[in-house]
Amino acid sequence: MKPDTLLRSPLFNGLHRICSALLPSARGKPIDLLLLHAPSVYDFRRRAILYGPVSDMIPSSTVFEMYPLGFLTIASYLQARGLQVRIVNLALKMMNNLQFDVPQFLAGLNLRAVGIDLHWLPHCHGALEVARIVKELHPGVPVIMGGLSSSYFHRELIQYPQVDFVFRGDSTEPPLHQLLLALSHGGSLHAIPNLTWKDADGVHVNPHSYVPPSLDYVDLRPDLMVEMAIRYRDIEAVLPFNGWWSNPITAVFTVKGCAYQCVTCGSSNTTCQHLTKRSRPVFRSPQSIVQNMAAISRLSHGPIFLVGDLLQGGDAFAAEILDRLHQAALPNEIVFEFFTVPPLSFLRDIDRCIPSWSMEFSPESHEQAVRNAQEGEAGYTNQDMEAMFQAALALRCHRIDVFFMIGLPAQTSRSVAETIDYCEHLFQLGDRRLSCFISPMGPFADPGSRGFEEPERFGFHLSAHTLEEHRQLLTQSSWERILNYQTRWMTRTELVDATYDAAERLNLLKIAYGRISPRRGARVAKSIAAARALKARIHAEQDHPDGAASNLLKGEINRFSVSTVCDKRELFWPRRVFNFRAPEILRILWRYYFAPSPQQPTPQPPTPHAQPLP
């Protein structure tokens, strides 16, 4: 039996085959909403592109195969109201099977509507191509797009012939439900909030009026992933990202919006005011957060990452979450994210309430002037930060990951090199639980961020502004040419060179200070050198008259774009013998096949006038 999953075990497969023989599959039945997650570039399997280390600091690969958590909240909300929803991670299926035929797969589905996320801008090529294929195969099926990038470019996006509807904002479950009922039963589309749509009369932009003051209106059920795997006999389609079997970290969002004004962030306070109409962050209740974490804990042994600094919600909010976690006594490791240095008393409260915890902190740069230029007066110094690290290490904190970035306002190549010097200073604190990471800000400066909206003010020069321009950038031959920005202080070439220089030095420091083994460090060093050589070849042969350079480079790209600033496995938590809990998976299996199904509400047609949404 594979050590990293029950779902692939003989026990599960045997029970699944028996149950499948007794009861029919849901394959072939109508799907009210198919949620598709596309790869960054649709035809990445045949293109020769050096994507670069733009994904080394996140769980997914350069294909950005991790679908947004909004897929699960949408599925939870709609299925509770009697609609059938299926999630398919097309990007992951395409990665794992080079022969996987996307059109053939989509042609075999019985669809009533298709939703495609364009949340992160690096998906603009893949999302639009998948939408085009869906529209060609199912011309009468509405294609709906949503996400932050969809919200920003909604007027341009709706002009593509393969896109019928675009939802704006970060909370679209109730309006989406209203749209699906209107399409099924008839009703006024003008009454649906946050919707951009088109008909024979042209483009319509409905008011962005649904902005819920709380996030508790929708649940997030992790067991839906298992249920969908059973229902459609397709485990791979619901996995969050490649390698999740070995690293089943689960994110729990505590907040939407942000109180901070980081210049390059697509979720900063300024961006949210523009895209989601939120002037301040909105939070899930402590009860909802801990209930979600408990549901995850029943299913998985993996770490649970609390996305968002809890202290944004105030001291009382954070304290109640800690108290509820103390009462819940979850065995999973809990990972906290801090946007600024918290009171040291808060770290002691965490340690009192949670026996197994870690933390992540992103100072962006060691240099105060750069940090202030990026964060707008960060409010803490390196001394404050180091005091926080030392306090956490004196407690039961299992791990501290410190993240730095390349491509910031006021940052020079020399400043990047000095950041690596500072990493060595942190290593000299003497505790191997603390490690440092550095990566480029890429591939794009986020639309809606202050750096994107006012590039000259913040020292940026943008090479793309429209959705179509970004879609074209994604098919360039190397990540230096894919970047949509350079700064007053570093050209794109200097950004790339500074990244590889920093990665080489940091890799050597990690070996010297015992953060990684010499063997792992040697692999990273080899990858960095190979990626640099490949970049030089691509640029030297870019204008080869017969296209031989492109043909020569096909098939080489992925291994030169992963683990080229660090070994990606450094981000993983230690593997367990069993990452998943057998009793909960068996309970879900029993409930799906044998437990009486609760009476599902019958979908009701909406009234033709706008109604308050729950």
**For residues 515-525, average pLDDT:** 91
Percent of the chain predicted with pLDDT > 90:
62
Q: What is the DSSP letter of 214?
A: -
* 14 vs 585: which has the higher pLDDT: 585
**Is pLDDT larger for residue 244 or for residue 526?**
526
pLDDT confidence bin for 533, thresholds 50/70/90:
confident
What confidence score (pLDDT) does residue 274 get?
84
* 175 has a pLDDT exceeding 80: yes
Separation of alpha carbons 566 and 506, rounded Å = 9
Amino acid occupying residue 7: L
Given a contact cutoff of 8 angstroms between Cβ atoms, the answer to whether 166 and 195 are in contact is: yes
Under 8 Å between Cβ of 369 and 410:
yes
**Tens of pLDDT, residues 453-508:** 999 999 999 999 999 999 999 998 888 899 999 999 999 999 999 999 999 999 99
**80-101 mean pLDDT:** 93
Q: Other C-beta atoms within 10 Å of 134: how many?
A: 24
Which range is most confident: 59-68, 90-99, 553-562? 90-99
Q: Where are the domains of the chain?
A: 10-217+581-593
DSSP state of 161: T
603 pLDDT tier (thresholds 50, 70, 90): very low
> Alpha-carbon distance 245 to 2, whole Å?
10
- Is 80 exceeded by the pLDDT of residue 169? yes
Q: Is residue 142 a contact partner of residue 187, using CB atoms and an 8 Å limit?
A: no
pLDDT at residue 602, as a whole number: 46
Cα–Cα distance, 191 to 206 (Å, whole number): 8
Going by C-alpha positions, the residue among 74, 54, 171 that lies closest to residue 121 is 54
The answer, yes or no, to whether residue 598 has pLDDT greater than 50, is no
For residue 89, give the 3-state DSSP assignment.
strand
What are the two backbone dihedrals, phi and then psi, of residue 263, each rounded to the nearest 5 degrees? -60, -40
Residue 443, Ramachandran bin (φ over 0: left; ψ between -120 and 50: alpha; else beta) = alpha
Tell me how far apart the alpha carbons of residues 382 and 426 are, in angstroms, rounded to a whole number: 10
Mean pLDDT score across all residues of the chain: 86
Q: What is the largest CA-CA distance in the chain?
A: 68
The pLDDT of residue 4 is above 50: no
> How far apart are the C-alpha atoms of 44 and 474, rounded to whole Å?
10
**Distance between CA 338 and CA 186 in Å, rounded?**
47
pLDDT confidence band for 596 (50 / 70 / 90): low
Helices 223-231, 70-79: inter-axial angle, 10-degree rounding: 70
- Work out the average pLDDT over 131-146: 97
Average pLDDT over residues 181-205: 95
Q: What is the mean pLDDT of residues 252-265?
A: 90
pLDDT digits (tens, 9 = 90+) for 36-56: 999 999 998 888 777 777 766
Q: What is the pLDDT of residue 614?
A: 38
- Do 88 and 237 touch, CB atoms closer than 8 A? yes
Hey, how many other C-beta atoms are within 10 angstroms of the C-beta on 562?
19
The sign one gets for the Cα dihedral 120, 332, 311, 212 is positive
More confident residue, 558 or 539: 539
Residue 267 is predicted with a pLDDT of 85
Measured in degrees and rounded to the nearest 5, phi and psi for residue 217 equal -70, -10
Does the pLDDT value for residue 87 go beyond 60?
Answer: yes
* pLDDT the model gives residue 26: 57
Q: How far apart are CA 306 and CA 337, in angstroms?
A: 7
Phi, psi of 252 (to 5 degrees): -120, 115
**600 falls in which pLDDT band (50, 70, 90)?**
very low
Determine the topology of domain 10-217+581-593 in CATH: Rossmann fold (3.40.50)
First-last CA distance in the chain: 45
Residue 259 tokens read as 């109180």
pLDDT band with cut points at 50, 70 and 90 for residue 608 = very low
Percent of the chain at pLDDT > 70 equals 86
Separation between Cα atoms, residue 333 and residue 404, nearest integer Å: 24
**Out of 7-11, 114-118, 346-350, 528-532, least confident range:** 7-11
- pLDDT band, very low/low/confident/very high, at 12 (cuts 50, 70, 90): very low
Q: Is 504 helix (H, G, I), strand (E, B) or coil?
A: helix
pTM of the model: 0.89
pLDDT at 15: 47
Angstrom distance (rounded) from CA 500 to CA 498: 6
Query: In the predicted model, what is the mean pLDDT of residues 92-112?
Result: 94
Would you state the pLDDT for residue 182? 96
The pLDDT of residue 27: 59
Q: In this structure, are residues 125 and 41 in contact, taking their beta carbons and an 8 Å threshold?
A: yes
User: Which tops the pLDDT comparison, 521 or 582?
Assistant: 521
Of 236, 357, 247, the closest CA to residue 302 belongs to 247
Q: Are the beta carbons of 256 and 273 closer than 8 angstroms?
A: no
pLDDT at 610 over 50: no
* pLDDT score at 561: 58
Q: Measured between alpha carbons, how far is 584 from 255 in angstroms, rounded to an integer?
A: 28
Burial (CB count within 10 angstroms: exposed 0-12, middle 13-18, buried 19+), residue 137: middle
pLDDT tens across 318-364, in order?
999 999 999 999 999 999 999 999 999 999 999 999 999 999 999 99
Please list, residue by residue across 96-114, b when 16 or more beta carbons sit within 10 angstroms of its beta carbon and e when fewer do: eeeeeebeebbeebebbbb
Residues 56, 6 contacting (CB under 8 angstroms): no
**Residues counted in the chain:** 614
